[in-house]
Amino acid sequence: MGTALKVLHVEDDFADAMLLQHSLFDAGVDDLELEVVRTLHDARWKLERNPYDLVILDLRLPDSVNPQDTIRTAEQHAGATPLLVLTGSAIIDGDVIGPHINLLDKNEFFHGKDPLRTQRLAGYVRAAVGGALLV
């Protein structure tokens, strides 16, 4: 096995953070080093001090409830690191975050134990690391 991919997951809901971790584990993904922070402030701090291969971002955080502000701030601090937005409000926010952002609706992946869903989620995470836009 090669070097683990470093992923920063910005998510204030502990249950959602665990769901992502379990989904990736269920899909057999074992080469990700997943670090979770709960606020945009903590994400900025981490991004200024550590390199990451991917940032998985929730749009509404305790210190940033406006999706556009959350995206803008994350982009400023992530630099060239790809962003993958994983949110429960993708239908509402899809039009406001821009086509250059990888966007997934967590409602599509976190309901029930479906191996196909977990495999698709793992594939989207890997594609985001590679810089591919998701459709």
Q: What is the CATH number of the domain that holds 108?
A: 3.40.50.2300
What domain count does the chain have? Answer: 1
- Whether 39 maps to a domain, the answer reads yes
- Whole-angstrom CA distances from 123 to 92, 95, 120, 127 are 24, 23, 5, 6
- Whether 123 maps to a domain, the answer reads yes
Condensed to tens digits (0 to 9), the pLDDT of residues 52-66 reads 999 999 998 999 988
If you average pLDDT over every residue of the chain, what do you get?
85
pLDDT of res. 133: 41
Model's pTM, two decimal places? 0.87
- Whether 134 maps to a domain, the answer reads no
- Whether 84 maps to a domain, the answer reads yes
- The three-class DSSP label of residue 102 is strand
Angle between helices 67-78 and 40-49 (to 10 degrees): 10
Domain extent for 103:
5-129
Angle between helices 14-26 and 115-129 (to 10 degrees): 100
What tokens does 71 get?
């995206």
- Whether 28 maps to a domain, the answer reads yes
